[in-house]
Amino acid sequence: MTWKGVGFYHTRMRTKAVFTLLTLLSGLTVLACSESSDGPVESPKPAAEGGAGGQDGGADVSSGGDTGVDVDAKTEGGGGKDVGAGGEGTEGGLVDAQPDTPADAPPEEPLTAKRAAAEMGYGFNLGEFFESTKETPRTFEVAKKKIDAYYAMGFRNLRIPITWTEKVNGTRLVHDPLVGDVDHQHPRLAEITKVIDYALSLPGLYVVINAHHEKELKEYSRDTVLQRLWADITEMYADRDHRLLFEFLNEPHRSGQNEMPGPDLVRMTGMAYEEVRARDPERIVIIGGNRVFYAAEMGNVWKNLDKVGGGNDPFVMATFHHYNPWDFCGDHKYPYTYPWTKEEQEKPMNTMKKWAEGDGQGMPVYIGEWGVGWKSGESKPPLRCNNIREWYSTFHRDSAAPRGQPTAVWDDGGWFKVFDYQTGEFDNNLAECIVGPCAWDGTGRYDGCGK
């Protein structure tokens, strides 16, 4: 499937290239005429001074003489700078392109969802931080320690769950939960923005933000609330690097874990999508299923992509969550010694891959959550179970990566703890297991796992 949405970008650049060529030819003609005349050739005039720089990593620089040619080059992944560099201007119109910005340089490729998926690799969640309705939200300083620790180990995507329309520690991030208008002065939002901006300042780190525990919004399919919410969020972060991705609605189940009706989710997502696209045609957005983001939900809900670009938008990504089998990964009806198989680990990935190659029209896939809840909400000694370590060792490297599916381990500092918010350090060696070889307790797969 060829993603047609990239075409407009290349057309724009080809038009600029033609304009540049015509300007060069004109300048050469004038120069030739001047040299053949009896009079002296006038010396070139100095180029105009460059413009003032921008803010937030988005510096705008322009320079050039009377007939200088502007070449716009958008750099993704490095602060989102827009640089317009004109050639050295002369009265005759001759353009002398600068060595670092040649007029015939190929256009910078846009940051598509496929390119992002190829670069995101393994990542982590800032779980139970800005989305929890049970705990006091933490600060940027606490988040920074976790981000730095993971980044130093090579993790290159960060998912930040955020609850907007429900009360967290007594307050909401919106003025009215029936409207979805963001409170731009909320102190918690200031902390969230600090985290986003810091993460984007780290080279190559992708950031995903979402609407997470929006209980009432999901229960009553409040489409206009989701629509307004993403309109405000898009405007708020319009100048941020396109390594910032928007996930519309996390696990849209209703009370009792009942699924949201598929048509409701598609309609709501489509309305939010239109708001984002009206403000940012190249912001990557993420869609998912209609209950708890199981892989099988995508095929039940997204039988076509009509509401999200019709398959012609290269800036759309799909997501699912992987806790399969749940009796091992989640509630532990199975013991830690459960002999899980590679087939169990890969089955949801294959299901999602099949959807992506069919109804998804080649859409890239992101595993936004996965892991094993080894604490089960109880006080337990440090992790010693090799069977869990083996799950973390093989999940991304052996199963997800070969299918081109980037991942983000669920790390909430508690039930699925990897990093300890209290100590500011890793509580176990599961992060090491994800990126490469890690130490075991004993030598057997079930050593340290109890009965």
Q: What pLDDT band is residue 2 in, cutting at 50, 70 and 90?
A: very low
Model pLDDT, residue 12 = 39
Radius of gyration of the chain from Cα atoms? Answer: 26
Distance, in Å, from the CA atom of 7 to the CA atom of 5, rounded to the nearest integer, reads: 5
Mean pLDDT of 123-141: 91
Q: Domains in the chain, ordered, with CATH?
A: 20-31+54-108 (no CATH), 113-435 (3.20.20.80)
pLDDT digit string, tens, across residues 275-305: 999 999 999 999 999 999 999 999 999 999 9
Token pair 């309109």 is found at 231
And the tokens for 70? 């502007």
SS3 letters across 281-319: CCCCEEECCCCCCCHHHHHHHCCCCHHHCCCCCCCEEEE
Alpha-carbon distance values, 243 to 111, 113, 324, 355 (Å): 8, 10, 29, 25
Omega cis (within 30) before 314: no
- Please write the tens of the pLDDT for every residue from 156-172: 999 999 999 999 999 99
- Residue in 349, 437, 337 with CA at minimum distance from that of residue 394: 437
What integer pLDDT is reported at residue 60 of this predicted model?
Answer: 36
Dmax (CA) for the chain in angstroms is 100
Q: How confident is the model at residue 377 (pLDDT cuts 50, 70, 90)?
A: low
Tens-digit pLDDT profile for residues 171-189:
999 999 999 999 999 999 9
As a three-state string, the secondary structure of 118-187 is HHHCEEEECCCCECCCCCCCCCHHHHHHHHHHHHHCCCCEEEECECCCCCECCECCECCCCCCCECCCCH
Q: Please write the tens of the pLDDT for every residue from 307-351.
A: 999 999 999 999 999 999 999 998 778 889 999 999 999 999 999
Average pLDDT, the chain: 83
